[in-house]
Structure 1
Amino acid sequence: MANKKILTEEDDALLAELGIEVEFKKHATFNSREERIIAGFEEIKKFVQDNGRLPEHGEDKEIFERLFAIRLDQIRGSEESKTLLQKFDDKGLLADNFQPVLDETDDLDDDELLAQLGVDETEENSITNLKHVRSQAEKKAAEEIANRAICEDFERFKPMFDEVKNDISLKYRSTIRFRKDAGFTKTTIRKGQFLIIVGQIAYIDDIGETIKAPNGEDDARLRVIYDNGTESNILLRSLIRAMYKDDTSRFITDPNSGPLFSGESSEDDLESGTIYVLRSLSDHPLVKANKSLVHKIGVTGGDVKKRITNAKNDPTFLMADVEVIATYKLANINRVKLEKVIHRFFSNSKLEVEINDRFGKPVKANEWFLMPLFIIDQMVDKIKDGTVSDFYYDPSSAELKRH
């Protein structure tokens, strides 16, 4: 059996003098701060590779180029960062000896240049007709959608995707078509949101700090996880632009915003509560004068009738009997969260009523609101189709309006 020998640094030096390169892998480990520095440097390298030059300062430069320029200055001024990044610097960026890349298009003929621009030289599409050339913005958006990497921690997200797919099949969630008529700037993307783009389910895992895009609009870098095990760090505006161009793009509703309410229960329903709407029989002057408009809205996991059995002795119910005028059954919903959503939606029509309890102590009653019953029905419908966050209640006109 041949003896195995571990190469030392002296052996490496000797082999190097003989012209023999020895390759070996080092499994370096970095802490989170070092990983961020490396990732930031890789973005600078990509900019240099794409543009053939270093990022520059100046108000006429795009925001990301200016950020890269500042970041490179900070790295060069930190011996710790320079030592960490030395092995990654294959372009001479740290020592400021980078040589700009010459524009290779100078030697291209017309056909080759048009090919790089994405133009096919045919009889119908000649050199004088460039209507099919994609703009830089369109190409950049398409590249960012396609430029994905393997999601190393996908096992953390896979159960979430499986749950979402199951929720959609059981109709606990629904998909909503992307509304182009709402306007580009009105489109809201939030952390923790699921959506469908280019036929894949995507999850917004993180939204970075707000920055200003070249056109002055707010923008941010996202971490988007896809159900095929990949991820991207696309810009917010680029993602919305891509959704605009994809006629099949859709939003996926939250579990408490999907088609969860029905007048009838099926065997498959896992009932977990009921939204109830009550009308008070109190003699309080304010309540009595607005009897048809004063409603209490709540969510309970038990029987509504049992919930109101002792109403006339409970300040919550204005120390008076009540009548149930509407109920909406729900399944697989967090009742506490749903009730907060409803109360927040009608917060601008909350009724401030002070009454005396059984001991003559003044108390303020909560969960009573001033609006007609049909408005509550409309609000529940908006929860069903997942668009409730797009609307608000206007007490002055007694109607739901879109933000």
Structure 2
Amino acid sequence: MGKKKAAASFTDDDDALLAELGVETEVKQAQTYTPKQERIIAGFEDIQRFYREHGRRPQHGDVRDIFERLYAVRLDRIVADPECLELLRPLDEDGLLDARVSEEGEEYSIESDDELLEALGVGPSENDITTMKHVRTAAERNAPEEIAQRKPCEDFDDFRPDFEAVQADIESGQQTTELFKTSSRSQIKKGDWFIVDGHKALVADAGKWFTPEHGERDRRLRVIFDNGTESDLLLRSLRRALNKDEASRRIVPPQPETDDEYATAGPLFSNVFDTDDSESGTIYIARSLSDDEFVKANREVLHKIGVTGGDPVTRIAGAKKDPTYLLAEAELVATYKLANINRKALETLLHKFFAKARLDVALADRFGDKVRPREWFLVPLPVIAEVVDRVKDGSISDYRYDTDTATLRIR
């Protein structure tokens, strides 16, 4: 038995057989339109969308929306012109061309082709009659929306530590930011961080690539924002939003990357000082005197860990009015003096080391805005002292903090 012919191999014998059976064959060709016809069709598509959304034809009248009145004028002009009717009838699935929409006293006469084009949303721009007015071009109709509808992120607590870590890295200089428009990094991929419209944004997931009809290759993203919302949007939409925001930035991770989570903390001790180095620094440990039931129950293990180049007593002086001190008086329970230290790098290292023991609480500041203190940890004071010793002798990277036993463990 011979091989089956491919469907595309249609011979004269096949054609003759179909003719004997009384079946006429017709080869369909792709419909092409002139620029003028494309724009008239685009104007009619706007009217169709209005009809399907509102369940009625667009109407005239001062009480109507400006776009509805425009669509009503367009539809009047279309049904009055035989050429437009011939072009659009095959596309009229809703029967919009069967009757006029003009109300009494709003009849229109066609004075010229330019007037007709103007009513259809196609008007002469200087000498170009193919320039559209009020009607989006095909490219604009196919373009993705700037930003998909944002919604609350149900699992934001899973991402909160990542946002806090990135903020800490930016504050300490471990991560930097650069303007998106001038960045040499043009890719957008899973795991990338941005600042757009004043919010930090994480590309938490990326779907498969696809190519829409009359469009460019794209993919669906899941983007998490630092205000606890998320958006299911296209990659091209995110890129458009970043380009539209003059202040948008890309958050740049430490370079080069390393598997050692403590290697990025920077030089803690150095004989060469920069603008953030000091001949002396102080690690200070504070304890809250709040009457809050949780604080009272955990007072012996709840500590604020900070590093300052000034007087620690001064740092806690206004604790009662400061949300970062839990809006309560605080007392110093330990200080550790260190020389030739990069304070920000050391503080970042300590906070990363105890990250799993960080207190997660939100307090309102005097303006009513939510503040999340990031320097409070549920860690016994002797363990903090041991960690400071490990930092001094350089062995800290060999250990991790075990929250279950509240002790240091060999990594």
TM-score over 0.5 for the alignment?
no
The TM-score bracket by the shorter chain reads 0.3 to 0.5
The normalised TM-score by structure 2 is 0.33
